[in-house]
Amino acid sequence: MVFGDPNRFAVIVKVIDEWNEKRELRSRLKFYNGILIFCVDGFLFPQVEVAVSSLCVDVPWFIRLIECVPNADKYDLFELDKVDTFCFLLNNSFSDTKENDDVRYFLVSPPTLSDKQNMIFFIKKDNMFRIIASHVEYDLERSDYYLGSNIIRETYISVNEIEPIIEGLKGFIEIGFDL
């Protein structure tokens, strides 16, 4: 299923039956493995490799994070250029300091994406979201993420445009991922 416009912002979800164990219908312990892909400005995330997603974890995680994105008034993140904005958010999302501690709430990448070093940030101002995303590198010696030579993708979408995407994902969850 594709929720949204892939040329701007969309979420693609698909349960892959072969990746799931067959369980009794009465079982409440169901794991829905499949594919979870985000499209930002016509580009796919994850960028580097396909990742198996536990959709019953990643999809609700993303929905919860979107619903908790704060207004970005404090940081002027709508006005900064995309590289400065992305680097500021990346550096402060994983910081051990208390300064700018609320910045981590702009990071909406579910575990499947962030584990593969794909970071997606939603910045909210009034009725608009600025979405910026990129694959990042990880420096083991410094225990730190950095942008490297990766390209940042960016798009803007209204709250009214994101609502049907979120509602579609909620519907996907409610019917048991059987689409």
Do the beta carbons of residue 29 and residue 23 sit within 8 Å?
yes
For the stretch 143-159, pLDDT in tens is 666 677 778 999 999 99
pLDDT mean over 158-172:
95
Cα–Cα distance, 34 to 115 (Å, whole number): 16
Reply yes or no on whether the pLDDT at 25 is more than 50: no
Which amino acid, 38? F
Q: Would you call 84 helix, strand, or coil by DSSP? A: helix
For the stretch 90-124, pLDDT in tens is 887 776 666 666 677 888 989 888 888 888 999 99
Do the beta carbons of residue 33 and residue 20 sit within 8 Å?
yes
How many Cα atoms occupy the beta-carbon half-sphere of 174 within 13 Å?
6
For the stretch 42-71, pLDDT in tens is 999 887 677 789 898 899 999 999 998 888
Cα–Cα distance, 179 to 105 (Å, whole number): 30
CA-to-CA dists, residue 59 to 31, 41, 154, 172, angstroms: 12, 20, 21, 9
